[in-house]
Amino acid sequence: MLLKIFIKILESWGRYFRINFLGFCQDFGASGVFVLRTIFGLFGFRYLINQIYAVGVLSLIIIAVSGLFIGFVLGLQGFYTLSRFGADQFLGQLLALSITRELGPVVTALLFAGRAGSALTSEIGLMKTTEQLSSMSMMGVDPLRRVIAPRFWAGVISMPLLTLIFSAVAILGGYFVTVHWLGVNAGSFWSNMQASVNFRDDVLNGLIKSLVFGFVVTWISVYQGYTCHPTSQGIAIATTKTVVYSSLAILGLDFFLTALMFGK
Amino acid sequence: MKSELNAEDPVVVLKDVVFSRGEKLIFKGINLSIQPGKITAIMGPSGTGKTTLLQLMGGLLTPSSGEVKVLGNTVADLSRGDLFSLRQRMGLLFQSGALFTDMTVFENVAFALREHTQLPESMIRDIVLMKLQAVGLRGARNLYPSELSGGMARRVALARAVALDPEILMYDEPFTGQDPISMGVLIKLIKTLNQAMGLTSIIVSHDVHEVCSIADDVFILSDGLIIAHGTPEEILKDPDPKTRQFMLGEPDGPVAFDYPAPDLYFDFDLKDKT
Amino acid sequence: MKQGRVDLLVGFLMLLAALALIFLALKVSGLAFNQEIFGGGTYDVTASFTSIGDLKIRAPVRVAGVQIGQVTHIVLDKNYNADITLNINQNINNLPADTSASILQSSLLGDNYVSLSPGYSDQVLKNHSVIVTTYAATSLESLISTFMGSSSNNSNKNSNSQGNNNSGNSSNSGDSGNPANLKLGA
């Protein structure tokens, strides 16, 4: 009797796994075809600029403010711990390395996914629901080329720009808190930082990370919008999926990239 | 690979088209042909898949089996490039208009012209204004779709659909939910456009009265099959019970009034008192 | 949103990002204009050490504490000595041929670097020259154990002489002039 139940459970797991895993693989493959068609779609420069505005410029405030506060907090927390060992001259190094290597790319990407990614998904989802994408298709214009591709490239371009701004603002914020408020020596702050931060290894690697994140997050956002269920509930689900999948992808890729770049 | 037609060949031909969405069988074998230059109506009760039929003709969907030929081309066999070229010869007016919300009325109508032609802006401007004039909305050119009423949005969508001077124009439920005046306006427009531009018009609708006043040819669609075909007068005289129920608007008939339910006895607890 | 305004703000974003990049390059990572990326040419010099301690590639090469280049290759040669390649800036081209190289630590917990002490020769180090005189790295641990070892020897000798002195002049207190009055070995 128990054996029968066990077999039934295994069967349903098997079916569930087959449907979901295969479905996932199919979905993944479909999204691969999608991104290839998107990447190679040519479009006018004007559309790109408009989308960089929507995706990049409008995210500037949240990125800059977050960067500032993260810099403040890092400075404070670093000071509390390092000063116990009389090692507060290393604060500059702590700040710069943790921000350029990790916090800059990762936090920017997470904020981007939440603000710009979800906006992209819901915008494209709404265009799908109100049949704008279908009517464009019926007029002989490929919506992947005209609507999706500019948004995709805008995301890929904006992410590194925003990451640079985040990193710079965070380090400056840390500088103001540690030097001007907590009284750390400005000379040792900057010189220790400069001695330990290597442009190619740290800053550039952080930028490469942000490019990878930009590609993946924008891909997820745009794909979820394009393939959502054309109802208001469908758009809501797609937007949630964008934020969740993007966040998981960012953190997973960060681990992978960090091990690749900074592992000895 | 595109092929051309003779002047008398039907513009659209559907042969034994079967289509299912998921597990639901929508079309069981549709056969119809649309004659050039005429206004053809496809009518039927709601939910029979009339919009799906237009999407099949436009290549937005592919049939499970059977053939859909538009202007001599089998739609399912076309490459993406050829399909997009074919679509430039067709216009589809969506039920909601589906205007691009981030562009003005002018830019919406100019869209296809800017994408598919290399005409100078001055010429595009003239064409757009002429199309808007034809639908009576030349003065609304700088409004955004959100500022338009439903009827106006539909007229702008019509202007947009004819911007490239297509050979076929398809209307998806154009009369649904319109007030009598807008209805009259639309009827006039459909008729005039068809005559003035030598179009083939295909109207999908269930407004019997309005459609019969302008259609030259009528198909009735029910349960995934074409159950009647002819001129409006012939259809009105058709003795088939399904056709009669639809055309005369009878509440009960082959399409039952009652959704299947258990006997009254069970729901209202009527016991046999004898 | 007028087109001009959009363009302006996008340009503003790009400008901010460029400024951030310049800040990160110069102020944060200390990229100097005569270094790697804009490098005005360098030349290579090799030196062989019996022990290099913690020395890594990219470690600085300094003269009198000022960086003039970096370590680019570390290879083991057939005598089991470490062959280091030093990449030195072209503008420092008058190092005497008998310059010596030693591996020092920048601070108690710092990284190792190569320090060059200029010699007196008339000839100068050129590309592919070899530095002959090298001093191997000293590790902190061996330093401390040497220190502790020598001082415990010293305190043994001192306490012996202390005992002898006390038996003689008790008026003299413990300032028998031994500088290493360490209380090790207690």
* Torsion-angle region of B104 (φ positive above 0: left; ψ -120 to 50: alpha; else: beta): beta
Q: For residues C102 and C73, state if they share a domain.
A: yes
Q: Which two tokens stand for residue A258?
A: 């960090």
Whether the pLDDT of residue B17 is over 50: the answer is yes
User: Chains with 3 or more CB pairs closer than 8 angstroms to C?
Assistant: A
The whole-angstrom separation of Cα B151 and Cα A124 is 25
Chain A interface disruption, residue of B56, B78, B102, B162, most A CBs within 10 A: B102
pLDDT on residue B118: 87
Q: How far is C13 from chain A (nearest CA, A)?
A: 6
Higher pLDDT, A113 or C51: A113
The whole-angstrom separation of Cα C58 and Cα C48 is 17
pLDDT digits 0-9 by tens, C158-169: 555 444 444 444
- Tell me the chain B residues in contact with residue A142 when contact means C-beta distances shorter than 8 Å: 80, 84
Q: How far is A128 from chain B (nearest CA, A)?
A: 10
B164, B169, B172, B175: CA torsion to nearest 10: 100
C-alpha to C-alpha distances, B154 to A240, B112, B126, B150, B172, nearest whole angstrom: 33, 17, 21, 6, 11
Q: Which two tokens stand for residue A59?
A: 């995210």
pLDDT digits 0-9 by tens, A152-178: 999 999 999 999 999 999 999 999 999
Cβ-nearest to A60 among C13, C37, C58: C13
Chain A interface disruption, residue of B94, B109, B167, most A CBs within 10 A: B94
Q: Which two tokens stand for residue C162?
A: 């202390």
What pTM, to 2 d.p., does this model score?
A: 0.78
Q: Which two tokens stand for residue A50?
A: 């408009």
Q: For residues C73 and C101, state if they share a domain.
A: yes
Q: Which of helix, strand or coil describes residue C84?
A: strand
Higher pLDDT, C40 or B167: B167
pLDDT on residue C158: 55
Residue A121 is assigned to a structural domain of this protein: yes
Q: Which two tokens stand for residue B75?
A: 């739609």
- Tell me the chain B residues in contact with residue A146 when contact means C-beta distances shorter than 8 Å: 115
Residue A118 is assigned to a structural domain of this protein: yes
C-alpha to C-alpha distances, A236 to A54, A62, A114, A227, nearest whole angstrom: 20, 22, 13, 13
Residue C177 is assigned to a structural domain of this protein: no
Q: Which of helix, strand or coil describes residue A67?
A: helix
pLDDT on residue A205: 92
Residue A15 is assigned to a structural domain of this protein: no
Of A150-154, B44-48, B66-70, B89-93, the range with the lowest mean pLDDT is: B44-48
Cβ-nearest to A131 among B58, B96, B116: B96
Q: How many helices (H) and strands (E) does chain B have?
A: 10, 10
Alpha carbons within 13 angstroms on the beta-carbon side of residue B232 total: 14
Distance, CA of C23 to chain centre? 28
Whether the pLDDT of residue B213 is over 50: the answer is yes
The whole-angstrom separation of Cα B203 and Cα B136 is 21
The whole-angstrom separation of Cα B117 and Cα A213 is 38
Q: For residues C48 and C136, state if they share a domain.
A: yes
The whole-angstrom separation of Cα B171 and Cα B54 is 9
| 8 Å CB contact of C16 and A60 | yes
Higher pLDDT, B235 or C171: B235
Beta-strand relationship, C82-89 and B24-34: unpaired
| 8 Å CB contact of A138 and B92 | yes
Residue A87 is assigned to a structural domain of this protein: yes
Contacts 24+ apart (CB under 8 A), C76-79: C77/C48
Chain B interface disruption, residue of A138, A142, A231, most B CBs within 10 A: A138
A243 pLDDT band, cuts 50/70/90, is very high
| 8 Å CB contact of A132 and B58 | no
B111 interfacial to chain A (CB closer than 8 Å): yes
A138 pLDDT band, cuts 50/70/90, is confident
The whole-angstrom separation of Cα B8 and Cα A239 is 51
Query: What is the mean pLDDT of the segment spanning A182-192?
Result: 86
- Tell me the chain B residues in contact with residue A140 when contact means C-beta distances shorter than 8 Å: 84-88, 112, 115-116
Question: How many domains are contained in chain A?
Answer: 1
Residues paired with B202 in a beta bridge = B40, B170
Closest CA in chain A for residue C3: A50
Residue A30 is assigned to a structural domain of this protein: no
Angle, CA A81 vertex, CA A79 and CA A82 arms, to 5°:
65
Residue C69 is assigned to a structural domain of this protein: yes
Question: How many domains are contained in chain C?
Answer: 2
CB contact at 8 A, B10 and B35 = yes
CB contact at 8 A, C134 and C100 = yes
CB contact at 8 A, C55 and C114 = yes
The whole-angstrom separation of Cα B27 and Cα B227 is 12
| 8 Å CB contact of A141 and B115 | yes
The whole-angstrom separation of Cα A35 and Cα B32 is 38
Residue A140 backbone dihedrals phi, psi, to 5 degrees = 80, 15
C interface with A, Cβ–Cβ below 8 Å: 1, 6-7, 9-10, 12-14, 16-17, 19-21, 23-25, 27-31, 36-37, 58
Q: How far is B205 from chain A (nearest CA, A)?
A: 18
- Other CB atoms within a 10 A radius of the CB of residue B137 amount to 20
The whole-angstrom separation of Cα B20 and Cα B26 is 5
Whether the pLDDT of residue B246 is over 60: the answer is yes
Q: For residues C11 and C67, state if they share a domain.
A: no
A111 pLDDT band, cuts 50/70/90, is very high
pLDDT digits 0-9 by tens, B100-137: 998 999 999 999 898 888 889 999 999 999 999 988 88
pLDDT on residue A100: 93
C-alpha to C-alpha distances, C96 to A95, C116, C117, C132, nearest whole angstrom: 41, 10, 9, 12
Q: How far is A187 from chain C (nearest CA, A)?
A: 12
Query: What is the mean pLDDT of the segment spanning A26-49?
Result: 81
Residues paired with B84 in a beta bridge = none
Higher pLDDT, A115 or A15: A115
C-alpha to C-alpha distances, A239 to A50, A210, A243, nearest whole angstrom: 22, 22, 7
pLDDT on residue A20: 74
Residue C165 is assigned to a structural domain of this protein: no
The whole-angstrom separation of Cα A259 and Cα A253 is 10
Residue B186 backbone dihedrals phi, psi, to 5 degrees = -65, -45
Cβ-nearest to C29 among A52, A162, A198: A198
Q: Which two tokens stand for residue C154?
A: 């010293």
Residue A92 is assigned to a structural domain of this protein: yes
Residue C60 backbone dihedrals phi, psi, to 5 degrees = -75, 155
Residue C178 is assigned to a structural domain of this protein: no
Q: For residues C136 and C47, state if they share a domain.
A: yes
Q: For residues C100 and C129, state if they share a domain.
A: yes
| 8 Å CB contact of C9 and A57 | yes
Higher pLDDT, B263 or B214: B214
pLDDT on residue C179: 43
Of A93-107, B39-53, B123-137, B147-161, the range with the lowest mean pLDDT is: B39-53
Using alpha carbons, select from B245, B242, B223 the residue that is nearest to residue B49: B223
CB contact at 8 A, A100 and A169 = no
C18, C22, C24, C27: CA torsion to nearest 10: -150
**Domain architecture of chain B: domains with CATH:** 1-89+167-182+199-274 (3.40.50.300)
Using alpha carbons, select from B48, B57, B51 the residue that is nearest to residue B27: B48
pLDDT digits 0-9 by tens, B170-201: 998 888 877 888 888 888 888 888 888 888 89
| 8 Å CB contact of C10 and A52 | yes
Residue C83 is assigned to a structural domain of this protein: yes
Q: For residues C21 and C47, state if they share a domain.
A: no
Residue C63 is assigned to a structural domain of this protein: yes
| 8 Å CB contact of C24 and A52 | no
Using alpha carbons, select from B154, B226, B145, B222 the residue that is nearest to residue B187: B154
Chain position carrying tokens 């929507």: A54
Buried b / exposed e along B53-90 (16+ C-beta atoms within 10 A)? bbbbbbbbbebeebebbbbebebeebeeeebbebbbbb
Range of the domain at A78: 41-262
Check residue B140 and report its DSSP letter.
G
Of A59-63, A138-142, A150-154, B19-23, the range with the lowest mean pLDDT is: B19-23
Whether the pLDDT of residue A69 is over 90: the answer is yes
Check residue C28 and report its DSSP letter.
I
Range of the domain at C10: 1-31
The separation between the first and the last C-alpha atoms of chain A, rounded to the nearest angstrom, is: 56
For chain C, 186 residues long, give each residue's pLDDT as a single digit of tens: 678 889 899 999 999 999 999 988 887 776 655 455 445 678 888 888 888 887 887 788 888 888 888 888 888 988 888 888 888 888 887 888 888 888 888 777 677 888 888 888 888 888 888 888 888 877 777 778 888 877 766 655 555 544 444 444 444 444 444 444 444 433
pLDDT on residue B273: 52
Rg (CA), chain C: 27
| 8 Å CB contact of A131 and B94 | yes
